[in-house]
Structure 1
Amino acid sequence: MASIVSIDASQLLIVDMQSKLSLAMQTEAMQAVSKQVQALAQTAQRLSVPLLLTEQYPQGLGHTLPEILQHAPQAPVIEKTAFSACAAPKFNAKLSRDKSQVILVGMEAHICVLQTAFDLLAQHKQVFVVEDAIISRAPTNHANAIARMREAGCIITNTESVLFEWIGNAQHEAFKDIAKLVR
């Protein structure tokens, strides 16, 4: 199996980037993660990479952050109460069966992101966890989640790698716009 993201084989999953939940995160870290998730969503939309969003109990944790939603206006938003997105029947109905790779971002790294990653691996998906686009309230929980996901077989990557792997070449028509996103 390839260890590089393919535009033709991948889909982006944004897990629980919700307004009230974001308030529990460290402010600077949350701003940095939000910026990375926005860059990924914006690029996915531009390149027609399928995109899904989940919301964990939105009545209590709020809806997806507007600054992220603006870059994914057509993306399905799946409400859930299970920690793993894969435990929500509506999610499985929307997950692209013909895309073998899932680019995984969101919060919290050690709960919903981790459980979703493990379930996606069980579905034989190649899971790319974008380390700088996931967050937990405690940095130690983030680090532990990364270690567990790596050990389980997830590929740990970063935003810039995904963006530039999607386009593959500096001559791609989206290169200049993507380069601006990472400055």
Structure 2
Amino acid sequence: MSTVKRLNAETSAVVVVDIQDRLLAKVPGRDSLVRNAGFVLDVAAKLAVPVRAAEQYPKGLGPTTAEIARRLPSPPPAKTSFSCCGAGTFLEELEMLRRPQVVLVGMETHVCVLQTALDFLHAGLHVFLATDALAARNAVDHDTAVRRLELAGAVPTTVEAVAFEWLRDAAHAQFKAVSELVKARG
């Protein structure tokens, strides 16, 4: 079994998968998903962790929800493939960041997140699943996808664990700012 590496802000990126209004409407726990994904994006901004996103067929499923879209550095590319890697040069652009650790947030866990994660793993990236910022319409689909991805080599975690792992120490210059985000999250 390979050794699991700790997350490091300097070697991480966040990928947001399909957090779109029309998809959200059908997902139980959607408010929690948006709050938790927004939290990890806010922490990423404080720690200079780059963020990338994609949208599944926005013509039919609508745009990224406003609460997430306002936190993105640029509009997400549209895709029809389930994996983000099918969105033009998405994987190549991610690899150009030279950040081998990818924290995934989004939906649906068993479709677009799963296929994106499998492609990232195949490309040699280290995938971390922020499970409290992932969702599917059905719990069995979500749970099964997380288990399958863990067996494939992805590491399940939570958004708060990601934040503190990126900080590493209460002496970090951004500790106070991130602590405020934790308090605001509830």
Fold conserved (TM > 0.5)?
yes
- Any residues of structure 2 matched to 1:26-105 within 5 Å, and which? 26=28, 29-72=29-72, 74-97=73-96, 98-105=98-105
Count of aligned residue pairs for this structure pair? 180
Deviation, 1:2, is: 4.6
Paired with 2:113 and 2:88, the residues of 1 have a C-alpha distance of: 17
Partner of 2:149: 149
Residues 9/76 of structure 1: CA separation in 2 closer, same or farther (3 Å cut): farther
**Residues 52, 76 of structure 1: 8 Å contact kept:** no
**RMSD after superposition:** 1.3
- The runs of 4+ residues in structure 1 deviating greater than 6 Å are none
Partner of 1:10: 12
Residues 50/109 of structure 1: CA separation in 2 closer, same or farther (3 Å cut): same
Paired with 1:2 and 1:9, the residues of 2 have a C-alpha distance of: 14
Residues 99/76 of structure 1: CA separation in 2 closer, same or farther (3 Å cut): farther
- State whether structure 2 residue 108 is matched by structure 1 residue 108: yes
Deviates further, 56-65 or 40-49: 40-49
Identity in percent: 37
Matched residue type, 1:19: D
- State whether structure 2 residue 130 is matched by structure 1 residue 130: yes
Paired with 1:23 and 1:76, the residues of 2 have a C-alpha distance of: 21
Structure 1: which 5+ runs fail to align?
Answer: none
Matched residue type, 2:173: E
Structure 2: which 5+ runs fail to align?
Answer: none
The CA deviation string for residues 128-182 of structure 1, in whole angstroms up to 9 with x for no partner, is: 0111110000011110011100010001111111011111111222212222222
**Residues 3, 155 of structure 1: 8 Å contact kept:** no
Paired with 1:80 and 1:101, the residues of 2 have a C-alpha distance of: 23
Paired with 2:39 and 2:74, the residues of 1 have a C-alpha distance of: 15
SS in 2 for 1:132: strand
